[in-house]
Chains A and B, each alone.
Chain A
Amino acid sequence: MERRNSKTIWIIATVVVAALLGVVAYVLTMNRQTASTTTNTTQQKTTEQQPEVPTADATQGSQAVTITFTDEGFATKNYTVSAGKEVKVENNSLMQLQFSSDDHPTHTEETELNLAVLAPGQSASFTPTKVGAWSFHDHLHDQYTGVLTVTE
């Protein structure tokens, strides 16, 4: 009887610990994905602020390019722009965005890409001058990545 009670206690303890572990990790994962989204959640996004695709052809090169960030990450992974042309970054997600050059977290690969934190609905621009393929990410959710190729 005592042995059976001990077994039951162990099963319950295991389930409780597993549940706690699950809750902790779930909260951590959720925090990671939605961190910093509460600062401006009441802000309504207009249709213009939420394009389904980048507003310029991201692969054509010579034109200015818009990089759109959504709740699922960057709308397109690869962008091409000519050196000296403007690149606009639009935050169309409900999260804050810190558009940054690789590597995470030092952002030293191409510092021209580094922008300040953008609140939901905000946008910012930069003009790349150095030719090359520069990978970027959102510093606040670094699983979201992309590559900007700057041509001559």
Chain B
Amino acid sequence: MKQWVRNNFSVVEWVIGGGATIPAVLVWVLTTGGTGALSLLKVFPVFGLVAFGLMWSHYIAGMLRRWSGYERHGKDIYWKVSAGLVLALIILHPVLLNVSLVQAGLGLPAASYFTAYGEIDGWFLILGTVSLLIFLSFELHRWFKNRKWWKWIEYAQVVAMVAIFVHGTRLGNETVVGWYSVIWWGMALTLLFAWVYNWRYDKAHLPRR
């Protein structure tokens, strides 16, 4: 099994990525379908769902890479494509929402979040914004990944994933749809497992930073 995964790692990555993103798109279509014309407010949730799915696939693929002993030689196609896509999606997701809120005369964030979503849910949008900033900070790896403090940025990504899961669970219409909520929670639990596995593996195999 390990050997098969090692020999077909690229295929495994694409399958995991597809397995995470296809249900996300499907649940969005089913939730949004038949509710009038498409608008930015109806489209923006799918970007968040797909971005979460792709980020999940990175952690799961990372776990399988460690488990199977696959040695990555540079960044492969899946990583390049999905990482670029995630960056675009996590930027587009709030941008489309904010453009809509401005167009509706609700002003700019953070005030517009509270006006539109109420006193409690407004904070869950703020949580999403903070997570976005943490995710964007990862882009600094080009320049700083060899610094001693970089591990804290990586730990912060984990915190941001938890925060974005809470954000999606609270605000997403799709995450409460029966069959998709099973997938959503399944992703959370497997993510948790992958984090623990990856952390333990790196601790045992990588030089202490």
- List residues of chain A with CB under 8 Å of any chain B CB: 10, 13-14, 17-18, 21, 24-25, 28-29, 31-33, 35, 102-106, 108-109, 133-135, 140, 142-143, 145, 147
Tell me the smallest distance from the CB of A143 to a CB of chain B, in Å. 5
Note all chain B residues with C-beta closer than 8 A to A25.
165-166, 169, 185, 188
Bound-state Cα–Cα, A31 to B121, Å = 11
Of the candidates B42, B103, B104, B196, the one whose C-beta lies within 8 Å of that of A14 is B196
Q: How far is the CA of A104 from the CA of B31 in the complex (A)?
A: 13
Beta-carbon contact of B173 and A143 below 8 Å: yes
Per a CB cutoff under 8 Å, which of A10, A33, A106 touches B116?
A106
Determine whether the beta carbon of A18 is less than 8 Å from that of B189: yes
Provide the bound-state CA to CA distance between A48 and B103, in Å.
Answer: 42
Q: What are the residues of chain A within 8 A of B101 when measuring CB–CB?
A: 106
In the bound complex, what is the Cα–Cα distance between A13 and B199 (angstroms)? Answer: 13
**A133 cross-chain contacts in B, Cβ below 8 A:** 36
Interface residues of B, Cβ cutoff 8 Å to A = 31, 34-36, 39, 41-42, 100-101, 103-104, 106, 116-118, 120, 162, 165-166, 169-170, 173, 176, 185, 188-189, 192-193, 196, 200
Across chains A and B, which 5 residue pairs bring their CB atoms closest together, nearest first?
A106-B104, A135-B36, A103-B41, A105-B116, A135-B35
Q: Out of B36, B166, B193, which one reaches A24, CB within 8 Å?
A: B166
Task: Give which listed residue, B36, B166, B170, contacts A102 with CB less than 8 A.
Answer: B36
- A to B CB contacts below 8 Å, 12 in the list: A10-B196, A13-B196, A14-B192, A28-B170, A31-B120, A102-B36, A102-B39, A103-B39, A104-B41, A106-B106, A140-B118, A143-B173
- Assuming A14-B196, A21-B192, A106-B41, is B104 touching A145 (CB within 8 A)? no
CA distance A116 to B49 in the complex (A): 31
- Considering the chains assembled together, what is the distance between the CA atoms of A140 and B116 in angstroms? 11
Asked if A21 contacts B162 (CB within 8 A), the reply is yes
* Majority secondary structure, A binding face: mixed
Docked complex Cα distance between A25 and B162 (Å): 11
Given A18-B189, A21-B162, A32-B176, CB of A105 within 8 Å of CB of B36: no
Q: Give A142 to B31 CA distance when docked, in angstroms.
A: 11
Query: What is the CA–CA distance of A105 and B101 in the complex, to the nearest angstrom?
Result: 8
Partner of A103, one of B100, B192, B193, B196: B100
B176 engages A109 (CB within 8 Å): no
B165: A residues at CB distance < 8 A: 21, 25
Q: Report the separation of the CA atoms of residues A147 and B37 in the bound assembly, to the nearest whole angstrom.
A: 12
Q: Which residues of B contact A103 (CB under 8 A)?
A: 39, 41-42, 100
- Specify which chain B residues have a CB less than 8 angstroms from the CB of A140 in the assembled complex: 118
Most chain B CB within a 10 A radius of its CB, from A21, A31, A109, A134 = A21
Residue in contact with B104 in the complex, picked from A24, A32, A33, A108, CB distance below 8 Å: A108
